[in-house]
A and B are shown apart, each in its own frame.
Chain A
Amino acid sequence: MKILVALKQVPDTETKIKVAADGRSLDPADVKWITGPYDEYALEEAIRIKEAKGAEVVALSVGSDSAKEVLRNALALGADSAVLLKGDGQGDAFAVAQMIAAYAQGKGFDLILCGNKGIGGDNAAMGPMLAELMGIAQANVIVKLELGEGTFRAEREIEGGSEVVEGALPAVITAQKGLNEPRYASLKGIMAAKKKTIEELEAASAPAVAVVSALALPPERPAGRLLAGEPAAQAQALLQALKDEAKVF
């Protein structure tokens, strides 16, 4: 079995967002970059499949040189090889899906795993777009995955519960928190990863079709007020305010 794991380098969730001078992108100063939290579940699942039934795991990222950090970490965790598709990082989900599809097409991947969304763009779109471009099955926001002979059975989170999706491999599976508990890299893994090379390829040319034309911070919320008194009085004052001022009820 051959598994491709697509990993995205994203700003740490602690990041305070500042808009760059161009008015349409993130100011990268002071931003700490991490592997997308949902991508970590995707990678962990690939490694578990490799451990359970044997598989070749290829880690892939699209971006600049700094994305090598994400790939180095994937190698330390158990990926067999790593590929960086070098691009300007300005693409939308469709552009990235086209770049990955151009790379993956014809390479015989049985399974393509990635996070259900990258945090940042929050599009939750690359996975399904990649599946369509490759003409294969998809299952998104997956909390449980079982593989059969050329088939998969996945549990995906939906409103108020989950649903079981069955389909044929190859497939794109996008991971949700709950799928597994990602491991930490061992010292041995980190040392071994340092010796491995990351293959660098030029990403296929794919212009964005959904373009960010402006980025702005949300408006400040109006100042609130504190409700004083004993708990019973506070409770009464709150409900009254929600009813009369906010007209929530």
Chain B
Amino acid sequence: MILVFCELKDGKIRKPSTEALSAGRRLADASGQPLGALFAGASCAGAAEAATYGADVILTAEGATLGSYSSDAYAQLVADAVKAKGATVLLAGATAMGKDVAPRAAARMGAGYASDVTGLSMADGKLQAVRPVYAGKAFATITFTSAVQVASTRPNVFPVVEKAGAGAVEALPAPAGDFKSVVKEILAKAGGKVDLTEANVIISGGRGMKSGDNFKILEELADALGGVVGASRAAVDADWGLPHSMQVGQTGKVVSPTLYIACGISGAIQHLAGMSGSKFIVAINKDPEAPIFKVASYGIVGDLFEVIPELTKAAKAMGVGKG
């Protein structure tokens, strides 16, 4: 079996999980194995939707003890499910939770783990993974020597494919409790916007923005395009009050949106590493020699303080962010 650890949010399967399920379905077809989806929580309502993405079996561990995420409890649950089902491949979306639970579960099983993969295939029944290393400056092909093979899939990379699976639901026992650590509280950021790693459109600002207040014009453009705002390391480190969670680059987030608009970002190698996986890159910079133009699909040499408001105005007029 190919087993996928899935996350639910408000009774819906999170998008990175549907991507992992779709990738898992492809591997299952390639190797003639069933696809399993694993859910855990106080309630697993909504898990049945996994059949839409090809799950033959839907495993649900429901119980009060699973209401709050616990690294050790979830890792044990996942490892037990892999063992019970004789799964050879375990996938999870490379989300905050997926990246927390998957390596711990892998260690529990003595399994090899490939994090944040961008490519997956089966050769002779063994998993092969491709993943960015050095923040995307290179790509490594990973093969496994362990019986169980674990990978987390980078959000926004694997296409979501709807393909009906049998979707037989099977309940798993919930662990008793007494966990080593547990999440006590979620502190949501104001706005509740999509995380950079999952965003389809990112508008990023660099040193050329001149101040944190000026990011307001990027927010306006992001709203018009249905995107979220990021920043370069130079901007985050400039004491403009921008949080590190906004930073895109080698020591920040590595992103792969459909559209990345770099505003006033020169394109240091660390920044390019973090965003060169974007499908389309737009560079807006007044310096025509800026290295960012070398990776840009479209470049605008000009004053961003003039260009960005025009872009926002034109985007609103065209109504592009509405669909």
Contact = CB atoms under 8 A, between A and B. Distances in A.
B307 interface: yes
A112 B295 CA distance: 40
B269 A13 contact: yes
A144 to B, nearest CB: 10
B298 A159 contact: no
Contacts, number: 284
B140 A165 contact: no
B176 interface: no
Contact of A221 (B100, B197, B295): B295
Interface residues of A, number: 87
Contacts of A90: none
A137 B71 contact: yes
A63 interface: no
Contact of B183 (A92, A126, A165, A239): A165
Chain B interface bracket (under 10, 10 to 19, 20 to 34, 35 or more) = 35 or more
Interface stretch (A49-57, A70-78, A226-234): A226-234
A177 B97 CA distance: 18
Contacts of B133: 120-122, 215
Given A160-B189, A231-B302, A239-B318, A209 B183 contact: no
**Interface of chain A, helix or strand or loop or mixed?**
mixed
Interface string B36-74: 000000000000000000000000000000000101100
B315 to A, nearest CB: 6
Contacts of A46: none
B275 to A, nearest CB: 11
Interface string A119-134: 1111111111111110
Nearest to B278: A221
B113 to A, nearest CB: 5
Contact of A122 (B115, B245, B299, B310): B115
Among A120, A210, A211, A243, find the residue whose CB has the most chain B CB atoms closer than 10 A: A210
B276 A218 contact: yes
B198 A213 contact: no
A89 to B, nearest CB: 15
Interface in A137-151: 137-141, 143
Nearest to B183: A163
Contact of A165 (B141, B182, B195, B313): B182
Contacts of B184: 153, 163-166
Given A161-B189, A239-B311, 9 more contacts: A94-B113, A132-B107, A165-B184, A210-B143, A211-B143, A224-B293, A225-B298, A235-B310, A242-B280
9 contacts: A26-B134, A37-B251, A138-B100, A158-B96, A158-B186, A159-B197, A162-B187, A218-B276, A221-B276
